[in-house]
Structure 1
């Protein structure tokens, strides 16, 4: 399918998906680590975030990024980069700032895991009844608070905000898009979903029909354009489930486009955002133009 050419926060600055640790690259701008006190579900919560800002005082268009979810608790706590430096610099080259919160249960933010869907696998069989609504709602709460904080900053263009996320962060981003926050011009979903088991049941999600119904609800509520980006060799969901999820979302009348790319060579297609830029760059560039993120 052809892509488009196409909660208030008590927040103040204290100091200056499944995502994995990444070493610095000398030719890329590195993140500023900030600590924010946000009202997450009305509870003051210290959230560590990575911030990338172009030179100057702004105001700049902003991408609010939602990271993915690693399989084990230790991997989640070891997470260093909520957005890869390379992808953040894709936005910086366009003159766009990036804010990527580390949600509770991950990395330096730490705390309790609020996003477990209980999609428990036993070998290649998933016998649980996962609650993807719980995952999406709890992950969205942090993004809502971070968005509210960002909209209060003088360097942010409040009328030029784009939502973006990868894996569980893609699901989170689409959940946030249902709020249709003024000034948010669109949402980008990289390989969004939940409940995958790439090692023992590659290409399958636990009870993917439950995600289909959740995406159907999201599609009925979302009014902004969305771009869905998946690779054919995604080992978390495979190629068929995302097509069903997208169809259910789009049936609600939301202006949405799906790009199912060719396989990401030499990698799990779930890493499309990190290792498949030639497959999606043109579509995302067109979407940025279509939603007017860079408009004067």
Structure 2
């Protein structure tokens, strides 16, 4: 259990990683199959739209279940399409790993009621209310659990080689799912996970961040599956310091967990580390995948 800091001074390493694994053009990247999954969420049959990626070779395959973030407005949530970036899905497919990325209830074509509102409110740069991030994470993880249960029924999925991954609120949902210690889940990956940020009026600060520390503390007490946390120094939702506080709260539960704090994502809000910081996260994620045996025979 450790925290590693990769500042911009490691530019040569970053450039080396970028040169070793160049980005592919969109024409070379695998495209998703958009499917409507018949899931059972909290005992209720629910049709969930999902992007599904499979390698070209014959399965069964290791599987990544990816959880998307949360847009700020209802219109943006309704307009959600392709919950995982094609480039990141391609990172997995090139390694022989399948990906399922569901649009959770309240988002995209799945639709339905919004059950992930934490209650965080802003008036300009001032945080109002007392957000319940535990409720948000627990409600979001319902779709993760239902997707996992669906995946166990698919003949092309290796049932003992499943990894959970998420970004922003999806990262928080992933850590909530980690607390369930699901059979066959070998690891969890949290990209920029959190809730309650306001990058426009209050950049680098979130609403009642200590509430989220308590949420992570609760999940960390239950989780035993290994996890990797990835945050950028210039994340405009959380800032450079609070993710370390959240990680320490989670780590206190005693699970096998590691955090990598990267340098700034040049030209972008560091909250977009997953999309635009590949050279900084690729090596630690590769190492984590190897350590947890996702690709093992």
By the TM > 0.5 criterion, same fold? yes
Q: Distance in 2 between matches of 1:286 and 1:70?
A: 31
User: How far is 1:111 from its partner?
Assistant: 1.2
| Corresponding residue to 2:4 among 2, 20, 28 | 2
Structure 1: gaps (5+ residues): 4-23
1-structure distance, mates of 2:91, 2:162 = 16
The aligned residue for residue 53 of structure 1 is: 54
| Alpha-carbon distance in structure 1 between the residues aligned to 2:41 and 2:257 | 29
1:34-183 matches, within 5 Å, as: 34-183=35-184
SS in structure 1 of the partner of residue 203 of structure 2: strand
1:197-221 deviations in Å (ceiling 9; x for gaps): 0000001110000000110111110
What secondary structure does 2:205 align onto? Answer: strand
Moved over 3 A (4+): none
CA distance in 2, matches of 1:133, 1:100: 22
Q: CA deviation at 1:56?
A: 2.8
Could you tell me how far 1:125 is from its partner in structure 2?
Answer: 0.5
Match of 1:242 in 2: 243
TM-score by length of 2: 0.92
Deviation at 1:251, TM superposition (A): 0.8
Q: 1:291 deviation in Å? A: 0.1
Q: Tell me, what secondary structure is at the counterpart of 2:283? A: helix
Given the alignment of the two structures, is residue 231 of structure 1 paired with residue 216 of structure 2, yes or no? no
Q: CA deviation at 1:74?
A: 0.3
Distance in 2 (CA, whole Å) between partners of 1:27 and 1:106 is: 29
Shift of 1:190: 0.1
Higher share of residues assigned helix: 2
Aligned partner of residue 166 in structure 2, secondary structure: strand
Structure 2 gaps of 5+ residues are 6-24
Distance in 2 separating the partners of 1:208 and 1:262: 22
Aligned 8 A contact 2:4 2:261 in 1: no
CA displacement 1:19-76 (0-9 Å, x = unmatched): xxxxx92221110000012111111111000000001330100000000000000001
Helix, strand or coil at the partner of 1:104: coil
CA positional deviation for 1:132: 0.7
Helix, strand or coil: the match of 2:69? coil
The 1-side partners of 2:38 and 2:163 are apart by: 22
Q: What CA distance in whole angstroms lies between the structure 2 residues aligned with 1:2 and 1:116?
A: 32
Residue deviations 1:142-197, cap 9 Å, x none?
11001000011110000000000000000000000111111100000000000000
